[in-house]
Amino acid sequence: MSDSEEHHFESKADAGASKTYPQQAGTIRKNGYIVIKNRPCKVVEVSTSKTGKHGHAKCHFVAIDIFNGKKLEDIVPSSHNCDVPHVNRTEYQLIDISEDGFVSLLTENGNTKDDLRLPTDDNLLGQIKAGFGEGKDLVVTVMSAMGEEQICALKDIGPK
């Protein structure tokens, strides 16, 4: 190859941190996490069937999508690997709620995070709006998995 040739690589990868990690299906328990149909889910029920005449024991997972609450099911041989999402919970202080439904949050290092929408859960949404309207100091818990983020909980840390 001569030096005059230029190579252009289109990188669609991030820093190399994977969104999921493999775990043997037989070791995933209730309240654990699993990826079903490319969605991060929390396992609510696991049942294991016995091996057949010549087969594997199968694990039947019933799980709920951690972002939209939909119920998903999957059956996997217990010796096979399943994808498990990396789920992180981070707390941020609520600064502002914009007109278009986005929240402004204060990060630990003093920067603001303005790319999150208000939650779709009516109960949580009502609590956030009411508390913010009363001028309370609110801390929201943001759950993130597989490149998605959503506010999942709220804490009141007293008046401003």
Alpha-carbon span 66 to 60, nearest angstrom: 18
pLDDT for the residue 5:
60
Alpha-carbon span 104 to 95, nearest angstrom: 5
CA geometry: angle at 157 spanning 154 and 160, to 5°? 120
Does the pLDDT value for residue 11 go beyond 60?
A: no
The residue that leads in pLDDT, 149 or 11, is: 149
Instruction: Set out the domains of the chain in order of their start, with CATH numbers.
Output: 18-83 (2.30.30.30), 86-154 (2.40.50.140)
Q: How confident is the model at residue 15 (pLDDT cuts 50, 70, 90)?
A: very low
Alpha-carbon span 7 to 103, nearest angstrom: 42
Query: Using an 8 Å Cβ cutoff, are 86 and 20 in contact?
Result: yes
Q: What is the pTM of this model?
A: 0.75
Alpha-carbon span 71 to 142, nearest angstrom: 21
The residue that leads in pLDDT, 147 or 4, is: 147
The CB-side HSE value for 56 (13 A sphere, CA atoms) comes to 12
Give residue-wise pLDDT tens across range 130-144: 888 888 888 989 999
Give residue-wise pLDDT tens across range 40-89: 999 999 999 887 777 778 999 999 999 888 999 999 988 899 999 999 99
pLDDT for the residue 160:
52
SS3 readout for 68-108: CCCEEEEEEECCCEEEEECCEEEEEEEEEECCCCEEEEECC
Give residue-wise pLDDT tens across range 107-156: 888 888 888 888 877 888 888 888 888 888 889 899 999 888 998 888 88
Alpha-carbon span 10 to 19, nearest angstrom: 20
pLDDT for the residue 17:
56
Query: Whose structure tokens read 């995933």?
Result: 28
Q: Tokens for 123?
A: 């109960």
